[in-house]
Amino acid sequence: MTSTASVEAAAAAAHPDAEILVVTPGFNVRKRLLDTTDDDFDKVIDLNLKGTYRLRRAFGAAMATRGKGSIVTFARFCALVVEPGRGLYAAAKAGVVQLTKAMATELGSHGVRVNAIVPGPFETALTAQIKADTE
């Protein structure tokens, strides 16, 4: 969700008593950091980090008002371990982990749980192709 207006519209359209938000952003530009552009940076950060922030802010405020809720975001292992060509993605996912900690401390006293899941790699058709491209 790359605009505040679209996120606010989604939050308004959601069930007014929604208690669970699951955020699964994922966009990467596979380039060495020295080869990335400002546009690459903006796209990766805007979707992965700012989009997560916008969704959590919109839904988290309503949950805090009601005194209950759970926000779960998938951050990916790149938040902790950087691979070649994933520098921007890793930075965005590390930011998601830190925003999770901050929001958990702010919303916890209002009955809202905020967590991040950081899954490791697993074999898929996409990862098999990426592996083949890098060998």
Domain of residue 41, CATH code: 3.40.50.720
Match 């952003």 to its residue by tokens: 25
- For residues 35, 39, 40 and 46, what is the CA-based torsion angle, rounded to 10 degrees? 150
Average pLDDT of the segment spanning 38-58: 91
pTM of the model: 0.79
Mean pLDDT of the chain: 85
117 and 73 in contact (C-beta within 8 Å)? yes
Active site residue 89: yes
The CA distance from 8 to 110, in Å, is 21
The CA distance from 13 to 34, in Å, is 41
The CA distance from 31 to 40, in Å, is 9
pLDDT exceeds cutoff 70 at 127: no
pLDDT exceeds cutoff 90 at 102: yes
Residue 134, pLDDT score: 63
Q: Residue 30: which domain range?
A: 4-134
Instruction: Write out the two tokens for 55.
Output: 């969704």
Work out how many domains the chain is built from and give that number: 1
| Active-site annotation holder among 89, 90, 91, 107 | 89
